[in-house]
Chain A
């Protein structure tokens, strides 16, 4: 551990001493958030972001769930969802593909019974082609599903379906509307350009923090200081751990500065779920540093490494809407396969105080992506820090 500590301190010292690090990792994101947030705020005018109710196709395969599904048609929901019934799943999917509806929901057979008995019960949700509409539908339906989860939890705890329903009804009365999530333009809590770019720039610059880790590895290989380190009684895994931990700390520091600075000076709110916010930062930094180690293992020279990593970072940021939210359908779909998309959407949903289920979904995908990249980097890590 002492050796890893020495390597971490060394990494931090090098980063702090390099002037360009401060400019790139701390000053630039704050400047870009300010410039993009103000210059492109026109994209985010309230009237531009007015979203019509999402056309939701509903397939009811369980008559006993009619009451629950009926909540989707409630007056409160009408401003967000316009529900149409479909006889079967295939017709609904055809309509989804043709763009006749924006989102699809299937309530499967015996759903209500399963909820009441406390066994596993799921709604099948089918996102459509428009990311914004999906966001609205997921947020609203997510709130409803949370309510159903509550009923199920009560059923499990009380062991009595009637008592569970009564408990749910009581809770409903006590808590007010069950749609307590925020989607764009909901309750006047639309996300602003500053929020949008703060989330996207935070992700982009956390990726740059990862780049610093990879660059440090490749540069040490080039300058042969890596040989010196390996000539000392140090295990390669310790070298890798020192590089990853040192640069991850820089990434966390960078995230903290960006969040605190934008909160203090731009008045940006990052939501009230700090543990989830921390998790989003941890997953993004872990994914970024892992990606950097993978690229460092494959790139022989610092210049090659920088070119590959910059292309990846800028490409992913662009596809995830980090530079402009209006990309067109194809690119938006492509963006959903990027690390940046899941990271920035996680931060945006946290800012919007979206439903727990929506935030959890995004954090889960982000976490799994980070875990996958970490595993690959662990396999290639030895090659990355190798001196042969």
Chain B
């Protein structure tokens, strides 16, 4: 049975449709990446899963329980890492975890153990009695995560947890996500950074204008755009004959010529690289530079919507 299931979920803000009949199933133990541009409906979707927003239509279940009918039971199974750094200036790191741990029903020695584990996990054990005001952006982000995992939830929902931090802290957080997943937690990870989602997700859903426009493993999704693998060849003395012969090659899907630059779209570019070089050499075309561009989720999004993810 899926851990999270959305059926025909709709959410409107006034007349604006934020989530449009979204259906989705997230399996236990996976890292599910929810990808989409700003305003696509990612945050609204996960807030509905967390019980922070009520859907206008449709049904959301977590671990077989309806979020609408059993909100407290569902919430106790979820750890939510908000996009904003939602911390109290007046509380130390350990006091944050104590407060949120108690809200999840933890008490006594169990609470203390979980606090120690969470602080250790995010690497803040040495700063347990310090307040967020003295923390770097990355440390605040890590404490933000620790508050959500202190009760060791089976589902962790992270809403763009790496916004505005340095690459080192980002890598630390991404590695933490993988480790949480190895320890058994199911993760829903939203981002508009496709590199992050590609790096950690076992499955990805791409959302735009509140609708799910693509769903599958990274491999499955990239197969949809594999013909868009591209060789970019910068040349001198490019001739029409050479271009025509490149076009006639069996593996080539499409060729675009921009002055001396030739964009060759083909499947398995690496395999046919020699053929391309041979054709150009035969027509005495001098090659200045050559690079291969493989399609990614950005390419897929561009193909599906005609827009870039970060537009």
Contact = CB atoms under 8 A, between A and B. Distances in A.
Contacts of A234: 72, 75, 103
A167 B112 CA distance: 70
Contacts of A17: 90-91
Contacts of A225: 86-88
A3 B82 CA distance: 22
B87 A233 contact: no
Interface string A204-243: 0000000000000000000111011111111100000000
B99 A18 contact: no
Given A233-B76, A235-B72, A388-B53, A6 B90 contact: no
Contacts of A2: 102, 105
A13 interface: yes
A10 B99 contact: yes
B86 A13 contact: no
Given A231-B75, A234-B103, A18 B147 contact: no
Contacts of B84: 223-224
A247 to B, nearest CB: 15
A17 B100 CA distance: 18
Contact of A229 (B78, B95, B103): B103
Contacts of B103: 3, 6, 229, 232-234
A322 to B, nearest CB: 31
B104 A233 contact: yes
Interface in A364-388: 387-388
Contact of A230 (B52, B76, B102, B104): B52
Interface in B56-98: 71-73, 75-76, 78, 80, 82, 84, 86-88, 90-91, 95
A102 B27 CA distance: 81
Contacts of A232: 75-76, 100, 103-104
A14 interface: yes
B29 interface: no
B295 interface: no
A231 B105 contact: no
Contacts of A10: 99
Given A227-B52, A233-B76, A6 B82 contact: no
Given A6-B102, A232-B103, A223 B86 contact: yes
B51 interface: yes
Contacts of B82: 224, 227-228, 231
Given A231-B80, A232-B103, A234-B103, A18 B90 contact: yes
Interface string A141-173: 000000000000000000000000000000000
A37 B95 CA distance: 42
Contact of A233 (B73, B88, B91, B99): B73
B86 A228 contact: yes
Contacts, number: 71
B88 A14 contact: yes
Contacts of A228: 80, 82, 86, 100, 147-148
B86 A224 contact: yes
Interface string B137-178: 000000000011000000000000000000000000000000
Interface string A234-262: 11000000000000000000000000000
A223 B83 CA distance: 11
Most chain B CB neighbours (cut-off 10 Å) among A224, A227, A228, A387: A228
Interface string B27-53: 000000000000000000001001111
A6 B102 CA distance: 7
Interface string A1-25: 0110010001001100110000000
A350 to B, nearest CB: 36
Interface string B248-264: 00000000000000000
A334 to B, nearest CB: 40
A342 B100 CA distance: 41
B90 A233 contact: no
Contacts of B99: 6, 10
Most chain B CB neighbours (cut-off 10 Å) among A18, A224, A387: A224
A28 B55 CA distance: 47
Contacts of B78: 231
A352 B73 CA distance: 56
A10 B92 CA distance: 12
Nearest to B54: A388
Contacts of B72: 233-235
Contacts of A230: 51-52
Interface in B91-130: 91, 95, 99-100, 102-105
Contacts of B102: 2-3, 6
Nearest to A15: B90
Contact of B50 (A6, A223, A231, A388): A231
A2 B108 CA distance: 13
A231 B51 contact: yes
A215 to B, nearest CB: 13
A40 to B, nearest CB: 37
Contacts of B147: 228
B19 to A, nearest CB: 14
Most chain A CB neighbours (cut-off 10 Å) among B50, B80, B99: B99
B87 to A, nearest CB: 7
Contacts of A235: 72
A231 B87 contact: no
A227 B86 contact: yes
A13 B87 contact: no
B75 A233 contact: yes
Given A228-B80, A228-B147, A14 B75 contact: no
A201 to B, nearest CB: 27
Given A231-B50, A231-B80, A233-B73, A13 B105 contact: no
A25 to B, nearest CB: 15
B86 A233 contact: no
Interface of A: 2-3, 6, 10, 13-14, 17-18, 223-225, 227-235, 387-388
Given A3-B102, A13-B95, 4 more contacts: A10-B99, A232-B100, A234-B72, A388-B53
Closest 9 CB pairs of A and B: A17-B90, A232-B103, A231-B80, A224-B86, A233-B72, A224-B84, A6-B102, A233-B75, A233-B76
11 contacts: A6-B99, A224-B84, A225-B88, A227-B47, A230-B51, A231-B80, A231-B148, A233-B72, A233-B75, A234-B103, A388-B52
